Chain A
Amino acid sequence: MRLGSFIRQCQAVTRYNLETIWERRAVSVVAIFGIAGVVGVMVAVLSMAAGFRAVVTGQARDDVAVVLRSGATGASDSILNHQDIQVLWEAPGVARGPDGPLVSPELFVIIDRKKIGAGTDANVPLRGVEAAGFALREQFEIVEGRNFEPGRNEVIVGDGAAGAFEGLQVGDRIDVGRASWEVVGRFTNGGGVAESEIWTDNRILQQMYQRGNSWNIALVRLREAEAFEGFEAALTDDPRVSLGAERQTTHMAAQSEPIEAFISVVGWIIVVMMSAGAVFAALNTMYAAVSSRSREIATLRALGFSRLPVVVSVMIESLVFGLIGAAAGGAASWFLFDGFRAATINWASFSQVAFAFQVTPELLVQGTTLALVIGAIGGFLPAVGAARRSVVGALREQ
């Protein structure tokens, strides 16, 4: 068959198939609805993982090092003393600000707060910071009230935490143990994980939790990203300390990985199960579509149309259903979930992270790809069946 004739045949049969979709709308809607459901769920679930990843890793930088006690996996199982911090001040490659080395030793504790809506207690990070901590976080901004004053029982609350937990509005008081803290400000930090936290003065927090002169974690700004290897080697080789350093990007990716993997695995299990159902719906639709046109297809073949254009046209029809389903499912998940705020526990720190679902273009492309795969599988067998059917037998049907 010449290419030109083949293309004309494909165009003719496909055009006819698509023009008659409206007449088969009831059964077509079943397939489209099934595919839209799969795409919608897939995009929604994975947008949760994408949103979580964006929050946890979004503000991480290659030129910032996270320093923990050697062997510790996170702030909660690490402790740093004054000598450790002195070593960091003197380490090679550390950037300096107007007030000295950009080293931010931070204390990290967990307090209970009730989740808005759920009413159940959840772990919220309470972080002790000092001047270097603000200098390191260039996107930090007070959006309501003011910053805490060092030496006073005052806290500022991240925007995500303020929206996810009760009693964290400016003017509220937080009672923790014997102490009472006043919320004096609300801050943002470029959408990063810090916005799920409560911050206060390092010294006050150390006293309150009887931590003496110790911290859990230190953030260190390096002069440049390439300085990390020298900085890490200096820490490892220094016999006075037992410290481990990671790039902030590596550290935060590892923090995000368990929950992201969990969401993705659970999400894909649901998606695969739904996909099986959608494939059967597509198969059913396409078998019905082919069956309702078996005499017309046979007529075309009697007139000289070949098998392959019939296969191609049925496949195209099924793929069109896939595309419509992808558009519907993607649009629904975008309208319903993009920007939807939620909070979940970060298993790496055992504390809550507030985040917003992110329906990204990549997810929509993935959803469309899945829809096309479902459409292709659902269309293939009916297409082959239509092409292999006896022309003479189909022409006899009334």
Chain B
Amino acid sequence: MVDVRGVSRTFHRGRTPVPVLKGLSLQMEKGEFLALMGPSGSGKSTLLNLIAGLDRPTGGEVIVGGSEIHLLSERKLAGWRSRNVGFVFQFSNLLGALSAERNVAVPLLLTSFSARERRRRVDIALEIVGLSERGKHRPRELSGGEQQRVGIARALVNDPMLLVCDEPTGDLDRTTSAEILDLLVALNRDHGKTILMVTHDPVAAERASRTLHLEDGRLAEGGDDGTVAVPVHEPAGAAV
């Protein structure tokens, strides 16, 4: 489902080019839960951003769900993201003035769903993350773990083909992290969600069906040759 071919990404610090990804290739199957690990500056977040359509490569190809997203204009890329990618951020990035259910509904504003359908999807997404009773609460009235669950519900509500998680447990304590990882595993196993997760945490990476390590803009082991690990969890159908 994800096919990254010889991708490079170079940033510029002043006039000095700083290559972050150096001709990296990887593939990901539908229903896979893939963890990307590596030291700071290794390029894992840059790779996640390219696959999620938040950034475009300097060279190479990024094909997700059959779309050559490296060729899309910025406007079309925004539309593609809204339909195909669910984002889970490290700090949940909820809109502070909105209730949990209104936060979850934000991606649906980009669709043509009726108000009733939007309401239905929000209810289902909140139910999946176990926060049906907390929909009226604002983010500051929720714990860190609950905020991250709302962030996951927001990522799910459009039923995207790919869930990208950038350090989803990086701001949480060990117990809460475990709960969030349990939820991601359940989404992968029970709802068939394809998940790409960047993490520093080996414990988190262990919950994924496959882990790739990046070093200095390249895959450190496996993956470079296109091999794909078999998912540990069997997908069981769409979420919402």
Partners in one complex: yes
Q: Is the CB of B49 within 8 A of A392?
A: yes
Chain B residue with Cβ nearest A21: B97
Contact stretch, chosen from B107-115, B120-128, B184-192, B228-236 = B107-115
Q: Does B226 contact A (CB under 8 A)?
A: no
Chain B residue with Cβ nearest A306: B78
Chain B residue with Cβ nearest A397: B91
Q: Is the CB of A303 within 8 A of B97?
A: no
Q: What band does the interface of chain A fall in when counting residues whose beta carbon is under 8 Å from B?
A: 20 to 34
Q: Is the CB of A300 within 8 A of B81?
A: no
Which residues of B sit under 8 angstroms from A304, Cβ to Cβ?
78-79, 81-83, 107, 110
Report the separation of the CA atoms of residues A8 and B108 in the bound assembly, to the nearest whole angstrom. 10
Q: Does A269 contact B (CB under 8 A)?
A: no
Which residues of B sit under 8 angstroms from A301, Cβ to Cβ?
78
Q: Does B203 contact A (CB under 8 A)?
A: no
Chain B residue with Cβ nearest A17: B97
Which residues of A sit under 8 angstroms from B95, Cβ to Cβ?
16, 296, 299-300
Q: Does B142 contact A (CB under 8 A)?
A: no
Q: Is the CB of A303 within 8 A of B106?
A: yes
From 299 to 332 in chain A, residues with beta carbon under 8 angstroms from any chain B beta carbon are: 299-307
Chain A residue with Cβ nearest B92: A299
From 1 to 15 in chain A, residues with beta carbon under 8 angstroms from any chain B beta carbon are: 1, 4-5, 8-9, 11-12
Which residues of B sit under 8 angstroms from A12, Cβ to Cβ?
106, 109
A299-B89 CB under 8 A given contacts A9-B110, A20-B96: yes
Report the separation of the CA atoms of residues A354 and B147 in the bound assembly, to the nearest whole angstrom. 67
Q: Does A23 contact B (CB under 8 A)?
A: yes
- Indicate with 1 or 0, residue by residue over B105-146, a CB within 8 angstroms of chain A CB atoms: 011011010000000000000000000000000000000000
Q: Is the CB of A8 within 8 A of B110?
A: yes
Q: Is the CB of A19 within 8 A of B97?
A: yes
Q: Is the CB of B81 within 8 A of A303?
A: yes
Q: Does A391 contact B (CB under 8 A)?
A: yes
Q: Does B15 contact A (CB under 8 A)?
A: no
A16-B110 CB under 8 A given contacts A299-B89, A395-B89: no
Q: Is the CB of B79 within 8 A of A1?
A: yes
Report the separation of the CA atoms of residues A40 and B154 in the bound assembly, to the nearest whole angstrom. 46
Measured CB to CB, the residues of B under 8 A from A are: 49, 52, 54-55, 74-75, 78-79, 81-83, 87, 89, 91, 93, 95-98, 106-107, 109-110, 112, 154, 166
Which 10 A-B pairs give the minimum distances between C-beta atoms? A304-B82, A299-B93, A20-B97, A12-B109, A19-B97, A304-B81, A304-B110, A303-B107, A8-B109, A304-B78
